[in-house]
Chains A and B, each alone.
Chain A
Amino acid sequence: MAGPTIDRSLVLHVARLASLSLDEGEADRLAGELATIVEYVAQLGALDTRDVPPTAHVFLDRMPLRADEPRPGLTREQALAQAPSVEGEGFAVPAFVERK
């Protein structure tokens, strides 16, 4: 199984999706490092898996379902205590315009 070619433009694309800003040089360095990692994982391709169904979970049984009964969670104070920035009753983030 041939992995994707990891080049500078793919690294920059993934970095943008991940909201990462890379310095000059970092993209090239990461392209090399990521290519090595992907190559390593690509060794799995040598195995014959034609008769093995694709598996996304270790736990193969069906999903357990929960009863629809409310339970108290965290207080607002507890929830906001984790936040780097708080404004009034909520999590503060830099002002933005809705784009969705």
Chain B
Amino acid sequence: MHYEAVIGLEVHAQLLTRTKAFCACSTAYGAPPNTQVCPVCLGLPGALPVMNGEAVRLAVRTALALSCTLRTVSRFARKNYFYPDLPKGYQISQYDEPLSERGHLDVEVGGATKRVGITRVHMEEDAGKNVHHEGVSVVDLNRSGVPLVEIVGEPDLRSAAEAAEYLRSLRDVLMFAGVNDGNLEEGSFRCDANVSLRPAGEAKLGTRVELKNINSFRFVERALAHEIARQQAVLDAGGRVVQETRGWDENEGVTKSLRSKEEAQDYRYFPEPDLPPLVVDDAFVAQVQSTLPELPRAKRERFVAELGVSAYAAQVLTGHPRVAALFEEAATLHGQPARLAAFVQSEVLRDVVTHGLDARIPVSARQVAGLLRLVDAGAISGKQAKEVYAKIVGSERAPEDVVAELGLVQVSDEGVIEAVCRQVIADNPRQAEQLRAGKASLMGFFVGQVMKQTKGSANPRLVNDVLQRLLG
């Protein structure tokens, strides 16, 4: 039978605050274990949580970026369970009155736009981290209490590839919104998936399996593809899918059962008595809305519609907030966005290294714009521009200085160019004959020969003009 996969993703994203959700401990990544802790995040008796206003602001921003409806009064709840990395014995989360609901994210899949529903975006705190040794596990509580948003997606995804694309788009939105650093390796963007199969055309959902620990885009696609195939095999053999939680084992390339429905957690949620209701009034929401940065999709559309950049280039240039910012600044300085886009794409991107929200871009917008202006002015050729670019990368040098130092000057002296053209024609009499006989494609050959003779310094427009005149 032909089955259709139904996938819904839950993403936990760390909010970009300096301090934890309910205490003033630092959230800086990579500190030595248990050095960013206090009575609140250690769960010591009598310690009380005080909400981080910036976490609220970033959570509201996340909700707005995903077009969610905000709840003016939302509540926190205790989610009770026992785990070594959860010192209080409960996680402060939101349950039946979450911060926001009913949003959506538009995702490009297979050349079409697909709208994926967002069930809810709510706030909660992270747990600690466990390191497992022989015979003992060791808990580091630096991460305990770090503010997260949980973004619950509707089961609108139909393949592993769609799920991966949704995740990429979501990560981009969060990064451009400035709420999350998108760093999967450091665990600040994590994903769980609910997967089920149903006969194609059937409306009723099949039994779902929750898939945990799929924390890279590569894993997501592989883990989901594997799980879909596993369920398909079970159904094809006449069996029934068991409702359970499974984990992805990257080493073996399989999903493994973690717990069955019978062992499923009963979290006994109840209202968090230590935190009064969270109020986000209209004025607060309007203020957050007014500072919401332009999101990648809007940026792409604007690059194409207003700046005349190709759809492909717009896609590439909005791959990272810092790259988009460099392009926009350079395009403003230079004035010809489409040309600048081509140069950034072909030359600059090669040298860009990104790590979450950080990006190492070894050249400034001013340098790139200045370099292209030299080409515009006819001072250097496009080929020489690449040579100059190689010299300014990683330095703060002005392109003009490098041009002067290298003694690069574009040859725009028609007499000089004509002499070279005549020589090239004389050296290639057979091709010249064919060109005159109508084989127009040979013009490129002659232009190439002249550029070669002049080591790329000849003004290509003039070369073309002169060759047309001599061979036309």
Contact = CB atoms under 8 A, between A and B. Distances in A.
Interface string B87-110: 000000000000000000000000
Contact of A73 (B25, B55, B136): B25
B83 A100 contact: yes
Interface in B1-60: 17-19, 23-26, 32-39, 41-42, 44, 50-56
A64 B361 CA distance: 41
A67 B53 contact: yes
Interface in A79-100: 79-80, 82, 87-100
Given A63-B278, A90-B138, A68 B35 contact: no
Contacts of B38: 73-74
Given A17-B266, A64-B51, A95-B135, A89 B33 contact: yes
A76 B32 contact: yes
Contacts of B213: 98
Interface in B126-158: 130-141
B51 A65 contact: yes
Residue of B135, B271, B277 with most partner-chain A CB within 10 A: B277
A93 B137 contact: yes
A57 B51 CA distance: 16
B53 A65 contact: yes
A44 B472 CA distance: 103
Interface residues of A, number: 39
B130 A98 contact: yes
A37 B275 CA distance: 27
B138 A87 contact: yes
A60 interface: yes
A4 B354 CA distance: 56
Residue of A57, A79, A80, A95 with most partner-chain B CB within 10 A: A79
Nearest to A86: B138
B42 A66 contact: no
B33 A100 contact: no
B52 A89 contact: no
Contacts, number: 138
Given A56-B75, A57-B277, A65-B53, A89 B140 contact: yes
A58 to B, nearest CB: 8
Nearest to A66: B50
Given A68-B53, A89-B140, A98-B132, 12 more contacts: A57-B275, A63-B279, A66-B53, A67-B54, A70-B25, A71-B24, A75-B35, A79-B34, A79-B141, A89-B32, A89-B33, A91-B34
10 contacts: A57-B271, A57-B275, A57-B276, A64-B50, A68-B52, A69-B19, A71-B19, A74-B37, A98-B132, A99-B245
Contacts of B55: 68
A21 interface: no
B44 A82 contact: yes
Contacts of A91: 34, 84, 138-139, 141
Contacts of A60: 276
Contact of A66 (B33, B39, B51, B82): B51
A88 B138 contact: yes
Contact of B132 (A56, A73, A74, A95): A95
A64 to B, nearest CB: 7
Contacts of A69: 18-19, 24
B212 interface: yes
A91 B41 CA distance: 14
B54 A68 contact: yes
